[in-house]
């Protein structure tokens, strides 16, 4: 993934601007969130703290709170405006906590969360190895990481058409399923399970396609001399070979991942070599045991 396309400030400004529009256009994100939440049915969890990483407007956060009523659910996002929308979902009986922060630098204590959840947010972070290392830091031993992200086949038709429509076009190259697995293993996660499926959304016209991609921020993954909206006519012509039954398809490869926090003492790989960490409490217990 090209980090130059993912300026954190630009991403934050984009989602601040779109926060009030987002839910009305985010059917794809909502469907993937639902599928991800369904995967929790196969695990017996009693988390005390859950963090929804890159929570957006908090739809999944609310679903997590409904499922785990006794847990503290934190919605974390770099966009303050998105968190305002999350707080509007928060009720007196099912209160959600909002934290404005970058998911690659979490303002959370080590081993402080039993469940980390992230729906279609990781594609905005260019370095999955360091991202998973940060996730592992805040996850308790045996805690669960559950996430979804875009795979390399995502936006295939759109990227090809965009390259023809704008000679200066740049598009994101998403990490594949093997790279995701390698990054999880490098961070020391245990029992990783990764799979993928594809979702194709078809639009009746180019206006609808561009409007939805702009409203969900997805257009930020494609850059060029002009925006999608500004190059709409050229994009429509370039899309012609990809039309199916008169409609404009956009395909998304969705990677789903589940993994668990390792026990203390499990090494993680870094550019400086393997690193092993222990909590102060575990060292104290170890010292008492030796006596």
Query: CB burial class (10 A; 0-12, 13-18, 19+) of residue 182?
Result: middle
Q: Is 57 left (phi over 0), alpha (psi -120 to 50) or beta?
A: alpha
Q: Read off the pTM.
A: 0.88
**Could you tell me the pLDDT band of residue 267, with boundaries at 50, 70 and 90?**
low
What's residue 268's pLDDT? 56
Which of residues 214 and 166 earns the better pLDDT score? 214
Which of residues 98 and 1 earns the better pLDDT score? 98
The arithmetic mean of pLDDT across residues 42-57, rounded, is 95
From residue 108, give the alpha-carbon distance in Å to each of 73, 104, 169, 288: 13, 11, 38, 28
What's residue 84's pLDDT? 97
- DSSP3 helix / strand / coil % (the chain, rounded to 5): 40, 25, 35
pLDDT tens readout for residues 223-244: 777 788 888 999 999 999 999 9
The ranges assigned to domains in the chain are: 3-154+172-201+254-290
C-beta of residue 272 within 8 angstroms of C-beta of residue 204: no
Mean pLDDT of the chain: 89
C-beta of residue 143 within 8 angstroms of C-beta of residue 112: no
**CATH assignment of 3-154+172-201+254-290, given 3.40.50.150, 3.10.20.10, 3.40.50.920, 3.40.50.1370?**
3.40.50.150
What's residue 1's pLDDT? 42
The arithmetic mean of pLDDT across residues 38-42, rounded, is 92
CB atoms near residue 234 (< 10 Å): 15
pLDDT tens readout for residues 202-212: 999 999 999 99
Query: CB burial class (10 A; 0-12, 13-18, 19+) of residue 16?
Result: middle
Measured distance CA(55)–CA(140) in Å, rounded: 20
Measured distance CA(155)–CA(136) in Å, rounded: 30
What's residue 90's pLDDT? 87
């Amino acid at each position: 993934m090209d980090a130059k396309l993912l300026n954190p400030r630009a991403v934050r400004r984009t989602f601040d601007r779109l926060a009030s529009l987002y839910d009305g256009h985010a059917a794809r994100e909502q469907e993937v969130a639902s599928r991800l939440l369904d995967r929790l049915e196969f695990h017996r969890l009693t988390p005390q703290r859950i963090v929804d990483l890159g929570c957006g407007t908090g739809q999944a956060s609310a679903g997590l709170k409904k499922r785990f009523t006794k847990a503290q659910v934190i919605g974390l996002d770099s966009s303050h405006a998105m968190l305002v929308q999350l707080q509007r979902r928060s009720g007196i009986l099912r209160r959600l906590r909002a934290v404005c922060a970058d998911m690659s630098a979490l303002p959370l204590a080590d081993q402080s969360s039993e469940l980390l959840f992230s729906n279609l947010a990781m594609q905005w972070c260019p370095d999955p190895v360091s991202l998973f290392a940060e996730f592992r830091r805040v996850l308790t031993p045996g805690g669960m990481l559950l996430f979804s992200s875009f795979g390399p086949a995502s936006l295939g038709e759109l990227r090809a058409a965009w390259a023809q429509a704008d000679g200066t076009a740049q598009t994101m190259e998403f990490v594949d399923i093997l790279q995701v697995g390698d990054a999880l293993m490098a961070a020391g996660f245990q029992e990783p399970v990764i799979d993928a499926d594809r979702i194709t959304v078809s639009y009746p016209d180019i206006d609808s396609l561009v409007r939805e991609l702009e409203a969900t921020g997805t257009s930020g993954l494609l850059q060029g001399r002009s925006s999608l909206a500004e190059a709409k006519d050229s994009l429509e012509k370039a899309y012609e070979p990809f039309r199916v039954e008169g409609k404009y398809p956009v395909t998304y490869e969705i990677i789903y991942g589940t993994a668990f926090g390792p026990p203390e003492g499990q090494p993680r790989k870094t550019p400086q070599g393997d690193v092993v960490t222990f909590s102060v409490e575990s060292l104290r217990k170890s010292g008492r045991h030796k006596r």
